[in-house]
Structures are given as C-alpha cells and as structure tokens.
Structure 1
C-alpha cells in the first residue's frame, strides 16, 4: 500500500463523516457527519473549521450561486442561505418514507445533481439513485441498498456509481448536456474478491477515478479502463469519500467514520472519524454549480 503526504484537517471523530466537497466560489471545503446531523465548513485561506448543527440528516452540498447552496437531506432537497444558514425546502426527496435518507451524490458538468437514498438501517434494496436538474427530480436506478461512488468525467459523457452491498462499480454513458443516461450501465470494476467496500469517489482531470474503500483503510486509483493503478493508504480503516479541493484542485479531502465500530475497534483505530487532506499527485477539477432553474 502506498503512503502519501497526509495531514489531519479536523480531529473531531465523526460517526459518519461523508459528502466532502469544495466550493470554488468561496474557496471553502465542506463535509458532513450524517448521523451527527452536522455540516462542517472550512475556508482554505484560514483552515478554521466551523460546525453547523442541522435539523435533520444531510449528506451532500452543492453551490447554487454566491448566496445559496443546495443540500440533500433525509426528506428533501433544501436551499441553504449562505449568510444565515436558513434552510428552505426546494423539493421533497422520499419525504413520505421516514425510513430512508439521502446518501452519496455529485454534480454533473451540466449542473445536474445525482443523489442516492438508502434505508436508515441499510435495509436491502431500499434506496434509489435520482437525477435532479432545473426543478425536476427523476429516479434513475431503484433497488439500491447503499448508493455510492457517484462521479463523472470532465466531459460529462461518463458517469459512475455503485451499490456498496453489491461491491461492483458501474459505468454508464451520459448525455453531456443533461447528465441523463443514454445507455444501460456496464460493469467497470469488480471489488467482490478484494478487501474493502466501494464507497465515495471522484474523477481526476486525466480520467482516473479515485474511490474510497470502506474497512480497507485505502483509496483505489483506477484507470479509465478500470485497472487498479494505485492503492493509497488512509490513516483510518473506514474512509468514506474523497473530493478534490483547492484553487488547483490538486489535493484530496477525505472523510472517515467510526460507525459500526466496537469500543475496542475505536481505541485501536484512533483516527476513525477524523477528516484528512492527502496529496496523491493528481489534478482534479472543480465541481460545477447545481442548476435549479
């Protein structure tokens, strides 16, 4: 396993750190503790982390414009006022099912948001992956247990996703203008015979895909053809998601979790739930703003 320059961003041990992102409008990184109902924001200019308590679980944040953000929460997509933190419901998301919540998501180059839902107890096939753009929410893939690895190539022509329970990464051809599928998904990478569950992912500018491996303490770097190029060490056994951050998008913000660990496991894995920055020598790209109208 390859070791790379790594530093701790925040020593708070989050039960389920998730949804790392970077807002180029404000040079700010953000992430969540889903189960802890907290949003964390960190301007890269200061490195100061601010915690914002949330009224419900949330997993994904995307910039709309200079004053607003879109949050995927357990019962809907909400518009967040940057200045006040006030939340306004934009669209319900399985609001009629109290047993599900949002999970992994990402913004396509067209400004479309893909976001997945799952059972709060990770019930089998309780979730769905949705496409959202310009006020319209469309289900894409149903019967998903734990939606993850939602990511897109820079040209918008290829999307990735997985069900962590199935542990197979899928690739699908997309309409670059809308982010909607134009073909059936195909197998891209099979992790079933290897250590770790496929979790969150991002795509570098050269087309390589970086994906967290839950329980394996690592990130995989996959070629555009699905070959494993590198296995990079993360100083926590349960990494959840990477995201490129910074003006050059040349560093990775990586979230981790202590969810499901016994007290003994937590004491052994002293970094479980902390948030890290890794320098893996790849250049990413900035995630675009989500289009709501």
Structure 2
C-alpha cells in the first residue's frame, strides 16, 4: 500500500470548510466555508483561488453543465452562473425554518441530488435528507441531528448517509434509475472511537472514504463495513473528502477550526486549510445533476 503525499492545496483557512468537489468539465475544484457563506473555486492544476460571498450559509454544489452549478444553501437550491456569479432560486428547502441549514450533499449516479439539513446549533433531530431530480423534491429521512456521509456506490444501487450526532453510517438500497430508496436503512458502521463520522465519498471499487472529525484521519471502509485503511491527517478536524482524479485515488479534503478553543487552534495552525492527498486508487466523479 502506497504512502500518501499530503500537501496544502489552499492556505485560506475556513472556519467550517465543507462540500468539496471536482468539475471535470472545467477542471476546477470547489468547496465552501459554511458559516461565512463563501464559495471557493480553484483550478486543480494550480493558480489563484476565487472566492464568492453567497450572502447566506451554503454547503454543497452539483454541476449542471460547464456554465452552471446547483448550490445547496440554508434556504434551498440555487442555480449559479459560473461566469457572473449570479444565483437564482430553483427549489426552496426549509426556507421557512430559520433554525436549520444545508449540510452534506452529493449527486446519485442517476442525476438525483441528495441534500442533508441540520440545525444551525446541531439541535437534536432537527435535520432531514431530501431527494431532488428534474424539478421534484421529496423528503427521504427525518429526525437527523447532523446529516453527513451522503454518498453512493458506483452502480447506484446503494446509498450511504450518517448522523454524526449518533456516530452511525447507514446504507440503504436505491433504484439505480432514479436514486430513490427501495428499502429501509441498515447499519453500515457505528463509530465508537474518538471523533465523529463526517463527510464521505465512494471510490470506483465501492469503498467508502470517510473524514473522521476530531480524530485527524480519513478512514476507508470496504462495502462490508470493515475498516481497511486509515490515512493520518495533519489537522484535527477533517470534514469531507472528494476525488479529483479517476486514474488515481487523489483527494481534496476540507478541514475546519469551528468550535476550537484558542489554545487548541494555536496547536493546530493548519486547521481550516484545504488539503490535497495524492495516492494510488480508483477515484470517481459525481455526475451532473438532472435539473
């Protein structure tokens, strides 16, 4: 097993970095600072980072096409024009509830966007998970405290999601043609060690890569739920990984200094920066969302 190379991809620290992804159409990496409502975009090959203030909390993004993106925010889904930065409301989600916001999200192979919500203060059971596709919105699961780890098997027959409040990752069978659940969630993994299960992504072999918040690691789980690898991170709070290559296991990983005491932050000076992990493997990209 190769030893990964870990480097800082962007040294602009985010209080709560989240929602990373890669657009193969433009060869651009994106991520968010949720609490400050900022979207970051940077070419994978290098160059300046572009930062846009969105005016509200935002956490995740789906590619529509080369010029448009669908952004999950605290009030719903917005279409963003990449050239102008202009956003237009597409679908309200919990817009009438000022206590919640979007959190983790990812696109199913069928083009359906699964979006998780949570309380802004992590209120118990305040969050839900939604399915959006071709103008239709459905609530799939509720009574979730901190929605996370939304990800899918390569063929689209399995979905994963977590409640970090319970430190449990579930798996549920899904229709590969629609991305809708076809059964009830079952336990995939329950974390009983230090830290909490956060964002995840599934590779081309069906393994789930999970950022373990508070444990300084990216943990890899086989489809059976067995942990098969851990990659040590140089920060305490990694929040979410995303593949940036289909020919390797290269990952972008967001991190955070959210809720750190001043003393802990001083001992973790790279907290909030965005990292690149280079290693062998078989990455996957999310497909475009079917608007």
Structure 2 gaps of 5+ residues are none
- 1:48, CA displacement in angstroms? 2.4
Match of 1:151 in 2: 151
Structure 1 gaps of 5+ residues are none
Asked whether 1:208 is paired with 2:207, we answer yes
Match of 2:238 in 1: 239
Distance across 2 between alignment mates of 1:66 and 1:50: 17
**Residues 250, 283 of structure 1: 8 Å contact kept:** yes
Match of 2:28 in 1: 28
**Residues 245, 283 of structure 2: 8 Å contact kept:** no
- 1:250, CA displacement in angstroms? 3.2
- The superposition leaves residues 170-219 of structure 1 with CA deviations (integer Å, 9 ceiling, x where unpaired) of 0100000000000001001110x212200000001111110000000001
- 1:231, CA displacement in angstroms? 1.1
Distance across 1 between alignment mates of 2:172 and 2:214: 26
Match of 1:289 in 2: 288
- Tell which deviates more after alignment, 217-226 or 47-56: 47-56
Match of 1:125 in 2: 125
Match of 2:93 in 1: 93
SS of 1:64's equivalent in the other structure is: strand
Residues 33-182 of structure 1: matches in 2 within 5 Å?
33-182=33-182
Match of 1:276 in 2: 275
SS of 2:65's equivalent in the other structure is: coil
Q: TM-score, normalised by structure 2?
A: 0.97
- 1:19, CA displacement in angstroms? 0.2
**Residues 37, 54 of structure 1: 8 Å contact kept:** yes
SS of 1:221's equivalent in the other structure is: strand
Distance across 1 between alignment mates of 2:47 and 2:290: 29
Distance across 2 between alignment mates of 1:215 and 1:47: 30
Please provide the CA RMSD for this pair: 1.2
Distance change (3 Å), C-alpha of 1:3 and 1:271: farther
Distance across 1 between alignment mates of 2:9 and 2:152: 26
Aligned residues: 290
**Residues 240, 254 of structure 2: 8 Å contact kept:** yes
- The superposition leaves residues 41-70 of structure 1 with CA deviations (integer Å, 9 ceiling, x where unpaired) of 011233321111111111011111122110
**Residues 245, 284 of structure 2: 8 Å contact kept:** no
Match of 2:218 in 1: 219
Q: TM-score, normalised by structure 1?
A: 0.97
Match of 1:260 in 2: 259
Distance across 1 between alignment mates of 2:278 and 2:144: 32
- 1:247, CA displacement in angstroms? 6.0
- 1:279, CA displacement in angstroms? 1.8
**Residues 119, 127 of structure 1: 8 Å contact kept:** yes
Distance across 1 between alignment mates of 2:164 and 2:285: 25
**Residues 4, 233 of structure 1: 8 Å contact kept:** no
Distance across 1 between alignment mates of 2:144 and 2:194: 21
SS of 2:266's equivalent in the other structure is: helix
